[in-house]
């Protein structure tokens, strides 16, 4: 390999690619040793997603100016940062860019100086920095590089010599934190960074670069069992990106101080122009509201760490993970029983955005719907949200099945499918099923799939169960008013006028193609709930001798009416019911029906042989 005493942008990009590819190959192992600060098994996924954004940025077009390449990489890392380790890594790259961004070529001296700046930036991003973490090896890389730079003649020698000290520093992390010592592992974030350095060093030594486009999921390594955890008080790993309004700057210190009162594991990385927030909290919405005072908020994310920990430590008898989007309305008891992972859609009231069912509960949605003059809009989860969920689950299961909102009315299915195709290419199959349904109907399909997965079925079987459930599921929604459906475009304005004139209570129905539309109506308000129950019974076609029924009833912030409807259906269907449960109805249908809407999904299942 030719001697490199000063790197231009093209050489630096190749070295970074080699390091990122190496990280992709080690993603699953890094996930499996992730016990600090929470044993949720996602550090490898978060670092890989962060550096995937960097890879996309440097692949976009060649840049021969090294400093500009670093600045581009840092900006991409900030936008794409995921998790504690990703936010720290983004801040480290920001320090490199700030230090060397003006240099067309970076020599050893300038590189060593930029490492010191990057390590200092990373430490400053944390409200409570801890030794034995990624911070420790970042600092060691800077210190070791400075020490060996006097005798190193090129970058190959610098990386090879510095890596000796970095490896020793990594190994030392297992004795620096109680959580790591108890599990006898090194810090996962620190290992991720060292793997990047290993890949860069190998490339500088040999010129070899094995292209790996996404994290590789292979093997069946067991998740390390954590016996100690320092950050179990908070449920949600919460993140967002804040961009300064024109003419203003973000006061990072003040932002960090205010966020520090809300939770733990706080990292605020970025600049006065744009910052990434990472914090563990109980209430993600409190974070987003606070951050709004500092600029425009975007890229909101909130992962349920308790569910992630359960997934990371799941029983090996379950081979398939089941995921869905927040358009599915499922009672909490079923989500918890089967460990169903839900990717939240966005709900927008004017310029303010929420994560459906995470930073905005269904009850809060209906209260806001009633008082806010801005009619809300919903938007599908971006493919990146699905991809991150699929990558995480692929590290801990043999395969993933995602059941999603009907493709007739949303791009959610396509977004999930796009993410699935990318993840499936690297060793773990991810299959996406169109529920041809929404709300409780989608929820029943998800539960059918999750039940099969929990019983130990393989991917083909779980998918077959889900597809059969799609064909056997019907959904009916009784709108409280046509006003919201007209505003949202689900019902034409002229139909709304006629419905009001006739005092017609519109019923939305799903059809076998996945279309949700006005299918019938009930005149007047007298005994409306009872007549709706009779309507459902008439429309439910099933063989009572061979089939039983599963029923989910959803309500638009009117639990008493929902419970009464559920009791009515129990009485009417009697012992034909396999199970029936009540749940909140989210915005997927609620945005068209408003407060007081009732929705019922009925699913036919074969009776167990006697």
Residue 49 is part of a domain; what is its CATH number?
1.25.40.340
Q: How far apart are CA 294 and CA 291, in angstroms?
A: 5
User: Residues 137, 267: one domain?
Assistant: no
Taking the alpha carbons of 258, 259, 262, 267 in that order, is the dihedral positive or negative?
negative
Please provide the DSSP assignment of 79-104 as one string: HH--HHHHHHHHHHHHHHHHHHTT-S
**Is residue 370 a part of any domain in this protein?**
no
Q: Taking the chain, what is the end-to-end CA distance rounded to the nearest angstrom?
A: 73
Backbone φ, ψ for residue 25 (5° rounding): -70, -25
Angle at 178 between CA 176 and CA 183, to 5 degrees: 105
**Is residue 506 a part of any domain in this protein?**
yes
User: Residues 148, 282: one domain?
Assistant: no
Q: How far apart are CA 366 and CA 591, in angstroms?
A: 9
Q: What percent of the chain has pLDDT over 90?
A: 78
Q: For the beta carbon of residue 254, count every other beta carbon within 10 angstroms.
A: 11
* 355: its two tokens: 């994560």
User: Residues 202, 236: one domain?
Assistant: no
Contact 506, 491 (CB under 8 A): yes
Q: Work out whether strand 236-243 and strand 274-281 pair parallel, antiparallel, or are unpaired.
A: antiparallel
**Is residue 533 a part of any domain in this protein?**
yes
Please choose, from the candidates 401, 297, 287, 307, the residue with its C-alpha nearest in 3D space to the C-alpha of residue 346: 297
The whole-number pLDDT of residue 314 equals 65
* 134: its two tokens: 């990624």
Q: Tens digits of per-residue pLDDT, 407-437? A: 998 999 999 999 999 998 877 899 999 999 9
Tallying the residues shown for the chain, one arrives at 610
* DSSP secondary structure letter of residue 373: S
User: What are the distances in angstroms from CA 585 to CA 42, 310, 466, 554, 596?
Assistant: 30, 26, 21, 5, 10
Tokens 């840049």 correspond to 63
Tokens 């190496």 correspond to 22
Burial class for 29, CB neighbours closer than 10 Å (0-12, 13-18, 19+): middle
Angle at 450 between CA 594 and CA 304, to 5 degrees: 65
User: Residues 189, 241: one domain?
Assistant: no
Q: Who's near 190: CB < 8 A, 6+ residues apart?
A: 132, 133, 134, 136, 137, 169, 170, 173
User: What are the distances in angstroms from CA 212 to CA 22, 244, 399?
Assistant: 8, 36, 20
Q: How far apart are CA 473 and CA 442, in angstroms?
A: 9
352-355, strands of its sheet edge to edge: 352-355, 346-349, 377-379
Average pLDDT over the chain reads: 93
Tokens 């709304």 correspond to 496
The whole-number pLDDT of residue 519 equals 79
Q: How far apart are CA 598 and CA 556, in angstroms?
A: 6
User: Residues 248, 185: one domain?
Assistant: no
User: Residues 247, 300: one domain?
Assistant: yes
**Is residue 378 a part of any domain in this protein?**
no
* 210: its two tokens: 């094995």
The whole-number pLDDT of residue 315 equals 56
Q: How far apart are CA 341 and CA 359, in angstroms?
A: 16
User: Residues 110, 251: one domain?
Assistant: no
Q: Tens digits of per-residue pLDDT, 259-316? A: 999 999 999 999 999 999 999 999 999 999 999 999 999 999 999 998 998 888 765 6
Tokens 């606070």 correspond to 290
Q: How far is CA 317 from the centre of its chain?
A: 25
Backbone φ, ψ for residue 397 (5° rounding): -135, 165
* 329: its two tokens: 């309305």
Q: For the beta carbon of residue 81, count every other beta carbon within 10 angstroms.
A: 31
Give the residue from 309, 324, 343 where a domain finishes: 309
Contact 110, 100 (CB under 8 A): yes
**Is residue 342 a part of any domain in this protein?**
no
User: Residues 178, 251: one domain?
Assistant: no
What total of structural domains would you count in the chain? 3
Which residue ranges of the chain lie beneath pLDDT 50? none
**Is residue 418 a part of any domain in this protein?**
no
Give the residue from 261, 279, 309 where a domain finishes: 309
Please provide the DSSP assignment of 268-310 as one string: EEE-SSEEEEEEEES-HHHHHHHHGGGSEEEEEEEEEHHHHHH
Q: How far apart are CA 149 and CA 581, in angstroms?
A: 67
- Assign 3-state DSSP to the chain and report helix, strand, coil percentages, each to 5: 50, 20, 30
Report the run of H or E that residue 158 belongs to, with start and end: helix 155-172
Taking the alpha carbons of 258, 259, 261, 267 in that order, is the dihedral positive or negative?
negative
Contact 510, 520 (CB under 8 A): no
Tokens 């692949």 correspond to 59
* 25: its two tokens: 């190959």
User: Residues 148, 243: one domain?
Assistant: no
Collapsing DSSP to helix, strand or coil, 359 comes out as coil
Give the residue from 292, 309, 326 where a domain finishes: 309
Peptide bond into 583 cis (omega under 30): no
Domain extent, residue 152, equals 6-206
Q: Who's near 416: CB < 8 A, 6+ residues apart?
A: 325, 343, 383, 386, 402, 404, 432
Report the predicted TM-score, pTM, of the whole model to 2 decimal places.
Answer: 0.90
**Is residue 428 a part of any domain in this protein?**
no
User: Residues 236, 169: one domain?
Assistant: no
Q: What is the dihedral of CA 286, 131, 15, 79, to 10 degrees?
A: 10
Q: How far apart are CA 234 and CA 305, in angstroms?
A: 8
Q: How far apart are CA 472 and CA 474, in angstroms?
A: 7
User: Residues 135, 274: one domain?
Assistant: no
Contact 598, 565 (CB under 8 A): yes
Residue 298 is part of a domain; what is its CATH number?
3.30.70
* DSSP secondary structure letter of residue 233: S
**Is residue 337 a part of any domain in this protein?**
no
Q: How far apart are CA 418 and CA 467, in angstroms?
A: 20
User: Residues 66, 134: one domain?
Assistant: yes
């Amino acid at each position: 390999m030719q001697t490199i005493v000063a790197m231009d942008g093209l050489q630096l990009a190749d070295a970074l690619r080699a390091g990122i590819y190496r990280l992709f190959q080690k993603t699953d192992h890094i996930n499996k040793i992730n016990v600090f600060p929470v044993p949720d098994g996602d550090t490898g996924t978060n670092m890989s997603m962060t550096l995937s954004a960097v890879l996309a940025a440097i692949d976009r077009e060649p840049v021969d100016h090294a400093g500009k390449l670093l600045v581009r990489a840092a900006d991409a890392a900030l936008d794409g940062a995921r998790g504690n380790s990703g936010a720290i890594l983004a801040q480290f790259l920001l320090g490199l860019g700030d230090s060397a961004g003006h240099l067309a070529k970076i020599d050893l001296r300038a590189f060593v100086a930029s490492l010191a700046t990057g390590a200092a930036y990373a430490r400053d991003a944390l409200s409570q920095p801890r030794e034995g973490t990624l911070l420790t090896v970042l600092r060691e890389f800077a210190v070791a590089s400075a020490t060996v730079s006097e005798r190193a003649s090129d970058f190959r020698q610098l990386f090879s010599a510095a890596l000796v000290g970095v490896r020793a520093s990594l190994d030392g992390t297992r004795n620096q934190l109680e959580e790591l010592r108890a599990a006898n592992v090194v810090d996962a974030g620190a290992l991720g960074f060292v793997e990047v350095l290993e890949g860069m060093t190998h490339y500088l030594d040999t010129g070899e670069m094995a292209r790996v486009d996404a994290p590789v999921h292979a093997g069946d390594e067991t998740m390390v069992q954590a016996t100690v955890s320092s950050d179990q008080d908070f449920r949600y790993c919460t993140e967002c990106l804040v961009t300064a309004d024109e003419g203003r700057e973000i006061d990072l210190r003040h932002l960090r101080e205010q966020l520090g009162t809300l939770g733990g594991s706080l990292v605020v990385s970025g600049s006065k122009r744009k910052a990434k927030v990472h914090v563990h909290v109980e209430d993600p919405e409190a974070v987003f509201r606070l951050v709004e005072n500092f600029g425009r908020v975007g890229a909101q994310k909130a992962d349920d760490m308790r569910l992630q920990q359960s997934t990371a430590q799941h029983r090996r008898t379950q081979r398939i993970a089941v995921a869905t989007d927040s358009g599915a309305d499922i009672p909490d008891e079923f989500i918890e029983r089967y460990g169903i992972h839900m990717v939240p859609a966005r709900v927008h009231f004017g310029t303010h955005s929420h994560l459906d069912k995470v930073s905005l509960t269904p009850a809060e949605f209906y209260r806001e719907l009633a008082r806010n003059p801005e009619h809300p809009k919903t938007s599908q989860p971006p493919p990146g949200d699905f991809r991150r969920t699929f990558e995480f689950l692929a590290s801990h299961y043999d395969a993933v099945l995602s059941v999603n909102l009907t493709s007739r009315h949303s791009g959610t299915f396509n977004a999930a499918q796009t993410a699935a195709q990318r993840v499936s290419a690297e060793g773990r199959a991810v299959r996406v099923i169109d529920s041809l349904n929404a709300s409780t109907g989608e929820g029943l399909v998800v539960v059918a799939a999750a039940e099969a997965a929990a019983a130990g079925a393989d991917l083909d079987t779980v998918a077959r169960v889900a597809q059969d459930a799609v064909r056997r599921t019907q959904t009916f929604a009784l709108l409280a008013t046509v006003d919201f459906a007209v505003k949202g475009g689900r019902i034409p304005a002229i139909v709304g006028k006629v419905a009001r004139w006739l005092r017609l209570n519109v019923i939305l129905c799903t059809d076998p193609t996945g279309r949700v539309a006005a299918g019938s109506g009930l005149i007047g308000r007298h005994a409306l709930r009872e007549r709706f129950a009779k309507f459902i019974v008439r429309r439910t076609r099933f063989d009572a001798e061979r089939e039983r029924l599963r029923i989910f009833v959803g309500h638009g912030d009117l639990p008493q009416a929902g419970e009464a409807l559920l009791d009515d259906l129990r009485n009417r269907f009697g012992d034909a019911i396999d199970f029936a449960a009540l749940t909140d109805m989210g915005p997927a249908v609620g945005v068209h029906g408003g407060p007081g809407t009732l929705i019922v999904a009925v699913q036919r299942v074969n009776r167990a042989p006697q």
